[in-house]
Amino acid sequence: MDEQVKNKKTAMTNAEKQKKYRERQKELGKQEMRGYLSPEAKVCYQLISDQTNWSDSVILSNAVRLTYAAYKNGQIGLLNSWLKNNEL
């Protein structure tokens, strides 16, 4: 009977599953980002999500990449002005 207990896999706790998932994501070169959305950003997020069916990760990754593209092309000021003028 002791041998059966040894051969049986122990179920992982939720915390262990989350830790393992985070480790796999890091191994894939991904970085976790956390933050809070402003009310304006929440509206934008909902519209993007509804239109594209993208996950939170895809929306966040694309937002960072688009912001970087605006920065590299000297358009960050224009982007910020547009967001302010459109109350977004």
pLDDT in tens, 28-46: 998 888 889 999 999 999 9
Is residue 80 domain-resident? Answer: yes
Task: Look at residue 54 in the predicted model and tell me its pLDDT.
Answer: 95
Cβ atoms within 10 Å, residue 22: 12
Q: Enter the pTM of the model.
A: 0.69
Structural domain count of the chain: 1
Is residue 11 domain-resident? Answer: no
Domain that holds residue 53: 37-88
Is residue 73 domain-resident? Answer: yes
Is residue 30 domain-resident? Answer: no
Is residue 8 domain-resident? Answer: no
Is residue 60 domain-resident? Answer: yes
Is residue 15 domain-resident? Answer: no
CA distance 76 to 74: 6
Secondary element (H or E) of residue 56:
helix 56-72
| Helix 39-52 × helix 56-72 angle, to 10° | 110
- The answer to whether the CB of 54 falls within 8 A of the CB of 62 is yes
- The answer to whether the CB of 80 falls within 8 A of the CB of 71 is no
Band (1; pLDDT cuts 50, 70, 90): low
pLDDT in tens, 60-78: 999 999 999 999 999 999 9
